[in-house]
Each structure stands twice: as structure tokens, then as C-alpha cells.
Amino acid sequence: MSFNAVVKEGTFNPSTRRGGTLRLARTDDFDSLDPADTYYAYTWNFIRLLGRSLVGYVNGRSGVPELVPDLAESLGEASDDGRTWTYRLRRGVLFDDGTPVTSEDVRYAVLRSNFPGSVYGPEPEVVRGGPQYLAQYLTGPDGVEAPDPHTVVFRLKEPFAGFDYLAALPTTIPVRADRDTYPEERPGPDACGPYRTAEYVRGKLLRLERNPHWDAATDPIRTALPDEITVALGVSGEEVDRLLRSGEADIDLAGVGVQPETQDQLLADAGLRERVDNPHTGFVWLYCINSRIGPLADVHARRAVQYATDKLAMREAYGGEPAGDIATTLLPPGIHGYAPYDRYPVGPDATGDVEAARRELRLAGLPDGFETKIAARRDRRKEYNAALALSAALARVGIRAEVLPFSSGEYFNKVAGVPAYLREHGIGIVMFGWAADFPDGFGYLQQICDSRAIKSAGNQNLGELRSTRVDTLLDSGSRVTDADVRAGIWASVDRAAMDEAVMCPYMYVKSVIYRGSRVTNVRMSQAYGMYDYAVMGVEDASSED
């Protein structure tokens, strides 16, 4: 074994051994196990154990994830004009009660997630916190059809060259209408993957057991090695680290890395370092500056915040250099469309440009600064400490920013993703982390930059960016099939969005993650930027070959 073995070797401790219990731990609960209502990368990674979308991902040889058919027999068949996409379902895929999965189940899932009024009636009181790409591109509820039990047809308002990426979203995981529990919260998707929910005590425990009707012959993505998977929920970050080191847990589900104190101990101990991986995750840590709240409605006030930011101190809150590289662009290296750019230089040591910040405050008519509030997740202690570092840096130029703590489970569907809540409470800055919804510049930028993606709940355009130039560039890029031309457009979107100063990227993320001694078949998921839970196994005395 060696430090960063998973990154160096591709797959660490390969195995096909079945059996045992894989034990995961998490500092809070899932945002939601409903495939229509989740937007955390770790939930998207995990929920694949329960449900299957039309299309999925495997790791590609070039370091970019590869699209593969999952529930569908093949990738989508596009019409000549790019406005109609057809998928045919694999035969023999069953729900956990033995009922066949049909195209109507996929159609219903798409409607309830993207057009809930067509299922539940006008203006249903339901929060859908998941991605809304399909609502944006389909002609409407009539834009998804199930002409026979094995065929799903999508009709688009305009061509979209990368529609297979949208078919890989959790919102195409089938849902049976007769099992829909609306308005009650769902304990997970209707199981058509290798596992089903056996027990779920919100905030405490999730336990998965095998789906007796899952057939490995129909599934090119999942290995289903463990007999059971448990997730300890609502555990403090320090306790998660203790559970990992003591052997009482195998993996931290969130995949964001250990606490700073633990990180120092792991990296300083040669024996412990052998169980540590330090990959780039594809995430960017950033914060969003809401362009509709108080003084921050003025672009110069937002630019003052950008210049005053001490990115070095914020990185130190995550544990210093092993936590990542100082960021200056929205797109991270490794995403097609990334181009080096620094709109708001904060000095050679990345501690901020105080004079530039004061100049922008004068241009905003606020020479003495102003007051605002910062939202951060308290159970993500590194993020919370980074928010405190940001507040301290802003205070140097008279910007007084109080840090408000929230829990991860409520953060997006009740606080950060609800513009009305932010306005009501005067929260002008929101701590945030972002990775591509799918591995293309559009998949990274559209939800956080497109004015048409702003939603009353489940919103991801947290700065409420409204830019005709950005919207036009996104539209033009979505139609382009030439990858190099498309990459140039995404770089232009990045620059145009940064000029509006509604988002401040401060770190291209690397994680310091610890794997327990029992786990097998450990690899990074290129699509989700963390360990691939769909293939992981565990060594156990009861395991079988």
C-alpha cells in the first residue's frame, strides 16, 4: 500500500468477493432519497444502488467519464433535427416486488420531477430540489411519451446535442405511480437497482438489503458485492473520523474529506498515510453573492467582496495545500472549457487586495462598507470555518458579515435554494460547493448561471445571475456538436459570469479521504468525484467468492 493508492492504481484491492456489510457514515442526513428532490453529488452516487436511470457512467480511459446505457438498451437515438430522442428499455429489469419496469414508470418519474402540476394538480405544495433540465428543454408534459412498455420518447423545444447527459440524471430513475407517497416524503426510489431500503430512521440510520429481483446480467454498472449496506447518519465530523480510524466504519459517505486535525495526524503518520487518498474531486468551493439583496445589488459592492476575500485563509480552514488549489475560475481544470483567468486578483499570496476592494466600495457609494449575512453548513465544519475566515477578511474593509449556521439536510431545500428565504433574512452571501451535473462545461455552468434556471425552491443560481449575454452563450453552446468550439463558448460563459461578480471561486478541491481496512474494489468515480459506491465491496469472514 502507499499514499494515494486509489489514484495511482485506478482500482485498489480489486475483488469480486460477495458478502458482508459495507458501513458508511455521514455528518447529517441525505438531502432527500427521492430522485426528484436531490442535488448532492454523494446522494446521486449513492442512490444508484437503489434505482437505475436511463443512462449511466463508467470511468473512461482518458480520465473523463464515459456515458453507457443503464436502464436503456443503448444510448439515445436522435432524430435528424436533434429534437426527438428515443430510448428502448432493457428487458428483464424488475422492481423489488417482481413487477417489470416499464416506460410508463420512467415517464411518470420525469413528470413528477419536472412537471409536478401534471401529476398532482395545479401548483402542488411540493418542493422539487433536483435538476430541472428536462423541464427547460422538453416541449412540456407532452414532451415525454411512452408509446409502448419498452420505449420512451422525449420531444424537445430546440436541439440539445448532449441529451444523453440529461438521461443520466436521477430524474429518469423510474417511479411507479401506485407507489408514489406524495405529499409524504419518500424513503428512496422504487428499487430496481441491486438494493432496496430495509430500514430508514431519518437522521439516525439507513440500511439497505439486496433486491431479490435484481439481475446482474442486465446491469453494466453495478457489482452488488456487499449483502448489506448501512449508513450511520447525524454523526459529527470528529466522530466520523474516529469511527473510520477505529474500524467501526469503512467510508465517509460525503466524500469531502476528514477534519483538519485528523488530516494533520493522518499525513504525519507513515502507517496511516497508506490508507489516505488525495484526489482532485472536480468540485470547486465557492460562495455566491446575491445580486438582489441590499447593497450587493450594486456590482461594485459585489466586486469589493471579491477583492477583499482572503482565499489563502479560506483554504487553511480546509487544511491547507492538501485540500486543494487556489481557484480563480468557475470551471475547474479537467472540465472541457476550462481556461486560466483571474478577474479579481487578490495578490500573489491570495490574501486579498484591500485597496482594490476599497476602490470598489467608493464606486458603489459605500466608502464605509455595509452589513450582510453569510449562510454556511455548521455540520461541515471546514466550510463553516471558511465562512468565518471570509467574514474576518471582509471586516478589513468595513463589510460586516455575520455567519449564520444551518444543517446540510435543510440547506438547499429550505434555505440557500429558496430566494425568498434569503431575502427575508438578509442573507447576501451563501457558502457553496459545485461540480458538473455532467462532464461538460454546460453541465457545470447552466444551473448556476442561467437566468431561466432560477427557481422559487431548489434554486442553484444562488447569486440570481440574470445576464442576457450568459444566457445567449449557453444556448448557442448547447447546439454545437464540435467539442473544441463548444469548449471556447464555455470559457466565454465563465468570464462573462465572473464579470458580474455573483460567484467567488476560492478552491479547486482535493479531498483527504480515509478508507477503512476492509473495503475492496475501491476506485474513484470520475462522474461524481468520490469513491464509486456502485462497485465497492468489503472483506468479511462471511464473504463468498
Consecutive H or E run containing 67: strand 66-69
Give dist(CA 475, CA 218) in Å, integer: 36
Q: Say yes or no to pLDDT of 324 above 60.
A: yes
What nine digits make up the cell of 59?
Answer: 470511468
Q: Where are the alpha helices (DSSP H) in 309-353?
A: 311-318
Write the burial class of residue 457 (CB in 10 Å: 0-12 exposed, 13-18 middle, 19+ buried): middle
**Picking from 119-123, 194-198, 386-390, which range would have the lowest pLDDT averaged per residue?**
119-123
Give dist(CA 144, CA 224) in Å, integer: 31
Which sign, positive or negative, has the C-alpha torsion 532, 434, 468, 116? positive
pLDDT confidence band for 151 (50 / 70 / 90): very high
Closest CA to 342 of 499, 185, 232, 528: 499
As a whole number, mean pLDDT of residues 344-358 equals: 97
CA 33 to chain centre: 14
Looking at residue 127, its pLDDT comes to 54
Residue length of the chain? 545
Cis peptide leading into residue 174 (ω within 30°): no
Each residue of 109-147: pLDDT tens digit?
Answer: 999 999 998 998 876 555 567 888 899 899 999 999 999
Give dist(CA 324, CA 508) in Å, integer: 5
Q: Say yes or no to pLDDT of 468 above 80.
A: yes
Each residue of 49-103: pLDDT tens digit?
Answer: 999 999 999 998 877 788 999 999 999 999 999 899 999 999 999 999 999 999 9
Q: CA distances (Å), 389 to each of 57, 378, 392, 403, 542, in order?
A: 37, 14, 5, 10, 48
Looking at residue 123, its pLDDT comes to 65
Coil, strand or helix at 492? helix
Closest CA to 433 of 384, 391, 484: 384
Which sign, positive or negative, has the C-alpha torsion 249, 250, 252, 257? positive
Q: Say yes or no to pLDDT of 543 above 70.
A: no
What nine digits make up the cell of 205?
Answer: 440510520
Looking at residue 394, its pLDDT comes to 98
What phi, psi does 99 have (nearest 5°)?
A: -75, 135
Q: What pTM does this model have?
A: 0.81
**What percentage of the chain exceeds 70 in pLDDT?**
98
Give dist(CA 416, CA 423) in Å, integer: 10
Looking at residue 541, its pLDDT comes to 46
pLDDT confidence band for 216 (50 / 70 / 90): very high
Q: Which fold has domain 52-176?
A: D-Maltodextrin-Binding Protein; domain 2 (3.40.190)
* Residue predicted with more confidence, 539 or 260: 539
Looking at residue 462, its pLDDT comes to 96
Coil, strand or helix at 174? coil
**What percentage of the chain exceeds 90 in pLDDT?**
80
Domains 1-28+194-277+512-545 and 280-510 alike in fold:
no
> What CATH class is the domain 1-28+194-277+512-545?
alpha beta
Coil, strand or helix at 331? coil
pLDDT confidence band for 536 (50 / 70 / 90): very high
Each residue of 277-297: pLDDT tens digit?
Answer: 999 888 999 999 999 999 999
**Options 2.60.40.1180, 3.10.105.10, 3.40.50.1950, 3.20.20.70; CATH of 280-510:** 3.10.105.10
Write the burial class of residue 251 (CB in 10 Å: 0-12 exposed, 13-18 middle, 19+ buried): buried
Give dist(CA 139, CA 121) in Å, integer: 19
- The answer to whether 19 touches 520, Cβ cutoff 8 Å, is no
Q: Say yes or no to pLDDT of 540 above 90.
A: no
Coil, strand or helix at 389? helix
Q: Say yes or no to pLDDT of 545 above 70.
A: no
Query: If DSSP states are collapsed to H, E and C, what string results for 120-170?
Result: HCCCCCCCCCCCCHHHHHECCHHHEEEEECCEEEEEECCCCCCHHHHHCCH
The domain spans of the chain are 1-28+194-277+512-545, 52-176, 280-510
Closest CA to 278 of 433, 509, 435: 509
Q: Say yes or no to pLDDT of 13 above 50.
A: yes
Q: What is the mean pLDDT of the chain?
A: 93
Each residue of 397-456: pLDDT tens digit?
Answer: 999 999 999 998 889 889 999 999 999 999 999 999 998 888 889 999 999 999 998 999
Closest CA to 111 of 70, 139, 148, 92: 139
pLDDT confidence band for 316 (50 / 70 / 90): very high
Give dist(CA 381, CA 7) in Å, integer: 26
Give dist(CA 51, CA 101) in Å, integer: 11
Q: CA distances (Å), 531 to each of 12, 24, 178, 521, in order?
A: 11, 12, 34, 10
Give dist(CA 381, CA 30) in Å, integer: 17
Q: Say yes or no to pLDDT of 191 above 70.
A: yes
Q: What is the dihedral of CA 63, 64, 69, 71, to 10 degrees?
A: 90
Give dist(CA 326, CA 386) in Å, integer: 13
Looking at residue 542, its pLDDT comes to 52
Each residue of 217-249: pLDDT tens digit?
Answer: 999 999 999 999 999 999 999 999 999 999 999
Write the burial class of residue 37 (CB in 10 Å: 0-12 exposed, 13-18 middle, 19+ buried): buried
One-letter amino acid for residue 308 of the chain: A
Closest CA to 315 of 385, 402, 374: 385
Long-range contacts of 344-351 (CB under 8 A, 24+ apart): 344/303, 344/306, 344/307, 344/309, 344/498, 344/501, 344/504, 346/306, 346/307, 346/309, 346/310, 346/311, 349/312, 350/310, 350/311, 350/312, 350/315, 350/326, 351/310, 351/311, 351/312, 351/313, 351/393
